[in-house]
Structures are given as structure tokens and as C-alpha cells.
């Protein structure tokens, strides 16, 4: 007679109770996460186009030339500095100056135009921005007493809660 192998009723009961406890913990954590997700505003930075725009704009502001009255120009070509348009001079790695124009005037589209002298050298476009993002996004120049000029970027979600509020400042160039 061969002895049959298997689990005892007690072993199966303990295993099922441990599995049930893990399942209950997972359910509670998921419910808690969903509750917090509903309470917090939209995280625009999780949107790939918004993150790409913010990274590129941050790089441009960091590389901005702070010679004279600051890196911001009131006009360039057909562009005029305002809450939806940022015009600044950036220093390229080879030391030349490039004028960069950030244009957020078109709904759901962000355009970055780069000019070396009067010639356009590059255009970057981000399409498909989140609904409502472009209408609430504002770019303003910020002045500090003991620091270089900065750029403040703000955006709100559909309920008017602040979703982005960042101040970017140029770094010192040699």
C-alpha cells in the first residue's frame, strides 16, 4: 500500500487565510490610493507632452543669457512677450547666442522656435496637450533683488486648483 501525498485540511486553511489577508490589504491600499487620486488635482507632469515642454523650457531658461536688462526680449519678429509667449536669448555650448521663442497661443499646441541671428534654425512642436492646460498656462518674468531674472510658469486644472507652479532661473555663465 502506497502512502498518498497531499496537503492536510489545516495546511489548506492556513494558506487560504494568509491569501485572504493579503487580498484584503491589497483592496484597502487600492481604495486609499483612489481616494487620494480624486482629492488631488490633475498631475499635468505625468502627461508626456507637458513633461517634455517643461524640460525643454527649463533647459532654455537655465541657458539664458543674463547680460544687461535680463534675458527677456519684449519683441522678436512677429512675436511679442506676454503671458503666452516667452522670448529669451540662450547661450549655446559653442558660446553663440540663440533667440528662443516659446509660443503657447494656439490651443493644445506648444511651439518652440529657435533663431540664430535672423534665421530660424529649429522648430519644436508639442501637440495634444491636455484639455484646459493651454487656457490656464501663464508665463511671467520674475525679478529678484540678488538673483538673476526668473520665469514663473503656472497652470490650473479644470477646478481652478494649481497644477503647475514653477520658477525657473538662469544659471551663471562664464
Average pLDDT rounded to a whole number, residues 7-30 = 94
Give residue limits of the domains in the chain: 7-40, 44-168
Best mean pLDDT range from 17-31, 77-91, 133-147, 151-165: 17-31
Residue 42 pLDDT > 80 = no
Residue 174 pLDDT > 70 = no
In this structure, the strands spanning 150-156 and 162-168 are: antiparallel
Average pLDDT rounded to a whole number, residues 27-39 = 83
Place 29 in a pLDDT band, splitting at 50, 70 and 90.
very high
* Cα distance between residue 127 and residue 32, in whole Å: 34
DSSP 135: H
Residue 45 confidence (pLDDT): 61
Residue 21 confidence (pLDDT): 96
Average pLDDT rounded to a whole number, residues 83-106 = 87
Place of cell 511651439: 111
Q: What is the pTM of this model?
A: 0.68
Buried b (16+ CB within 10 A) or exposed e, 16-50: eeeeeeeeeeeeeeeeeeeeeeeeeebebeebebb
Average pLDDT rounded to a whole number, residues 96-106 = 88
Residue 166 pLDDT > 80 = yes
Place 62 in a pLDDT band, splitting at 50, 70 and 90.
confident
* Cα distance between residue 163 and residue 174, in whole Å: 35
Residue 2 pLDDT > 80 = no
pLDDT-above-90 percentage for the chain: 19
- Higher pLDDT: 164 or 145? It is 164
Place 23 in a pLDDT band, splitting at 50, 70 and 90.
very high
* Cα distance between residue 92 and residue 17, in whole Å: 64
Amino acid at each position: 500500500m502506497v502512502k498518498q501525498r497531499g496537503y492536510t485540511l489545516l495546511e489548506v486553511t492556513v494558506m487560504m487565510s494568509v491569501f485572504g489577508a493579503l487580498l484584503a490589504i491589497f483592496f484597502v491600499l487600492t481604495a486609499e490610493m483612489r481616494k487620494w487620486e480624486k482629492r488631488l488635482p490633475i498631475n499635468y507632469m505625468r502627461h508626456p507632452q507637458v513633461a517634455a515642454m517643461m524640460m525643454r523650457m527649463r533647459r532654455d531658461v537655465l541657458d539664458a543669457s543674463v547680460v544687461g536688462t535680463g534675458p527677456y526680449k519684449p519683441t522678436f519678429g512677429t512675436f511679442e512677450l506676454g503671458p503666452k509667449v516667452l522670448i529669451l536669448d540662450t547661450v549655446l555650448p559653442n558660446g553663440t547666442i540663440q533667440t528662443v521663442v516659446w509660443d503657447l497661443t494656439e490651443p493644445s499646441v506648444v511651439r518652440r522656435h529657435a533663431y540664430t541671428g535672423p534665421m530660424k534654425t529649429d522648430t519644436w512642436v508639442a501637440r495634444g496637450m491636455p484639455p484646459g492646460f493651454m487656457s490656464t498656462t501663464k508665463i511671467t518674468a520674475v525679478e529678484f533683488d540678488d538673483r538673476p531674472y526668473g520665469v514663473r510658469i503656472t497652470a490650473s486644472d479644470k477646478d481652478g486648483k494649481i497644477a503647475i507652479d514653477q520658477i525657473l532661473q538662469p544659471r551663471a555663465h562664464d
